[in-house]
Amino acid sequence: MENGGQTLPCRRRMLPLMNILLWILQVLLAVAFFAHGCLMIFPPASIVDQMNASLPRWFQLFIGIAELLAAIGLTIPGAARIQPWLVAAAASGIVIVMACATIYHLARGEVSSAMTTIVLLAIAAFVAYARWRVAPIRPRTQV
């Protein structure tokens, strides 16, 4: 029985490996966004003036809180298996934010920062699609 070019037993064997890969990517994204969110909310004194010159403080706080929420959304719903669809939603939100961040950095001529945001965008897009279609996390069943 064919299913997208793969036999069904082959797909069942690959699903656990895909799940492991997705969890690794989710945790890496969560760590990156948690760290950057903390940096935006609690900037070191040495870079406060530079940050305030490029973005207003209210926007830095907004970005920081959104990134902390993204880190939570990538991990907690999946680990708790409560509303696990939020993992794909959080990753989709990150895609939008990283697209905007890429445009922002390119407009400022910050190519290395833009490349970083493109990599994060690609990882988040992969996680969003895979958690939505390929290997969704199943909700906890009621006993």
Cβ-contact 69, 49 below 8 angstroms: no
Structural domain that includes position 99: 7-134
Find the DSSP H helices in 2-134: 8-41, 48-54, 57-80, 85-107, 111-129
Tens of pLDDT, residues 86-130: 999 999 999 999 999 999 999 999 999 999 999 999 999 999 999
**Does residue 1 have a pLDDT over 50?**
no
Residue 30 lies in a domain: yes
Q: Kindly report the pTM of this predicted structure.
A: 0.88
Residue 89 lies in a domain: yes
Residue 2 lies in a domain: no
Cβ-contact 64, 41 below 8 angstroms: yes
pLDDT band at 56 (very low <50, low <70, confident <90, very high): very high
Average pLDDT of the residues of the chain: 93
19's tokens: 């799940």
Q: How many domains does the chain have?
A: 1
Residue 65 lies in a domain: yes
Residue 1 lies in a domain: no
104's CB contacts (< 8 A; 6+ apart) are none
CA 115 to chain centre: 16
User: What are the φ/ψ torsions at residue 83 (nearest 5 degrees)?
Assistant: 55, 50
Q: What is the mean pLDDT of residues 16-42?
A: 97
The pLDDT score that the predictor gives to residue 142 is: 62
Cβ-contact 89, 78 below 8 angstroms: no
Cβ-contact 99, 121 below 8 angstroms: yes
Residue 118 lies in a domain: yes
